[in-house]
Chain A
């Protein structure tokens, strides 16, 4: 009983950490620009696929992983420069379609150049499972959780202790006011795309040894990251992390105890209930509408 529960919990937290990173990515971009970036999932996929590609090309693992984070960040910046900045202030639906277009381009290019196959990455520190109260924990899960924790702490430090982070926060509260006190809001937008792409890529790399990757895994991962972001209250960083872990855990529990066929539906059922009964998400702020 307990062992089984722990097993579901471990796998839930592990996947949930990836959702949390994706949700943080959504949150960063949403705060900087009010854009819901539907290409977020493709950054996750890109991270995993590029790590596999660079590793197979013979690069040492650390170099391969570094490149697999750097390239998606560059792609994120390109999307921002070429497609988001020129249409600043456009309708939400226009922006959504642009990011969906970007996600199709990324997915299509990966499919053309890296193929449709499913790939895996060797676990970073072996495959010997760790036994805890009858449940097994893969060492890779510890990597996922550890790195996610480091990223969250680093982000906290960035937003609370550095000028750049505070400039981003200021922009998310009020863009015009931020511009008036001399904050380069375009720079903020630029940085937010680079950071959220890198976050997605990190999540994608970490989870690849456990869940495998292929050119089309981005859609579902991205949408679940979006669910996690909304669950935590869109725009709230802490909420995104909690939302991600919660989505991961509930999905894993639901798949284990209720129905594995409906595993992918669980996050979406969850979000419908949240929207009905806790419309601002778990940590969302109250907003008032101006005329």
Chain B
């Protein structure tokens, strides 16, 4: 398992290394960067949804906190971008922990409800506090710089994001094989049984939820600096659903599935642009068809078919 898992990592590294030399123009580089950013968020979300079996319908809210921390704090309060990014991550982590602790003592779909509510509240706050956030129109984000080096060209961003992606894949693979990962999979299988063998179910669920929220927040900051502009749409319900769909279409509990899901769904809107006016319908049909015929997602279904099994 170990070796095969790392084999996939080498492929990811190889693809990322070759990609910038074969992409025809900056449009594709931009698309690749956005795919990679989504992939990193989805990796974190998959740990929560796929491995621990918990649903978050408000992850875009956490993304929004990170993005707006990186936009508002440097612009209005003169904070250094790195400090702002970390402050966003810490705030997100605290918020996630405060919300998660009471919720995770409950069973069933309540986390879905709580995260849904949290995401919508964050989005409404971003829209309304126009003095700081620019309201529904959004606001510009200052350029990211560290030790006097500023990140502005697409190529620079590509290498940074690619490096973070490789690190995230590696970290996810290791996490899943750690005692922590085994505990997560155990509680997905049966909460009562894992309690019986001594897994502190609530603590593990809170930990993975906070971790995936912080992932989302950090990548929100990266998105904000990369795009140079933030709008409340980053944090809306639909974006949460998009992120969740990437997890499920790629394959729950599959690290490489997360990557595939992120790549496909980031590319999809570009592909759908040709369906003038019918985008929403086609997107909805694709979601339903994928889920009906590939309920476990692309990668696990294909893996099972070709007898490789993760």
- Cβ B281 vs Cβ A112 within 8 A: yes
**Contact yes or no, B291 A261, CB < 8 A:** no
Tell me the complex Cα distance, A226–B116, Å: 10
Say which size band chain A's interface belongs to: 35 or more
Residue B91 CB within 8 A of the other chain:
no
A108 and B280 in contact, given A97-B287, A101-B285, A234-B109 (Cβ under 8 angstroms): yes
Measured between beta carbons, the chain B residues less than 8 angstroms from A279 are 102, 105-106, 110
Query: Does B198 reach chain A (CB closer than 8 Å)?
Result: no
The chain A residue with its CB closest to the CB of B247 is A93
* Shortest beta-carbon distance from B59 to chain A in Å: 13
Residue ranges of B at the interface with A (Cβ–Cβ < 8 Å):
49, 53, 55, 57, 99, 102-103, 105-110, 112-114, 116-118, 120-121, 124-125, 128, 190-193, 237, 241, 244-245, 247-248, 252, 277-288, 291-292, 295
User: B270 → chain A, closest Cβ, in Å?
Assistant: 18
Known contacts A102-B284, A289-B192, A291-B193: A223-B109 contact under CB 8 Å: no
Q: In the complex, how many angstroms separate the beta carbon of A30 from the nearest chain B beta carbon?
A: 9
- How long is the Cα–Cα vector from A103 to B279 in the complex, in angstroms? 13
Alpha-carbon separation in the docked complex, A196 to B105 (Å): 30
Stretch binding the partner chain, chosen from A10-18, A46-54, A163-171, A267-275: A267-275
Q: What are 10 of the A-B contact pairs (CB < 8 Å)?
A: A36-B112, A83-B288, A87-B295, A102-B284, A104-B283, A105-B281, A111-B280, A268-B117, A269-B121, A271-B113
Closest A-B pairs by Cβ, 10 of them? A104-B284, A108-B280, A101-B287, A108-B281, A268-B117, A105-B284, A101-B288, A265-B124, A291-B192, A101-B284
Min CB gap B29→A, angstroms? 30
Q: Does A109 contact B (CB under 8 A)?
A: yes
Most buried by B among A101, A107, A269: A101
Q: Considering the chains assembled together, what is the distance between the CA atoms of A83 and B125 in angstroms? A: 36
Q: Which of B109, B128, B241, B288 contacts A261 (CB 8 A)?
A: B128
Give the distance in Å from the alpha carbon of A275 to the alpha carbon of B282 in the complex. Answer: 36
A132 at the interface (CB under 8 A from B): no
Chain A residues closer than 8 Å to B285, beta-carbon distance: 101, 105
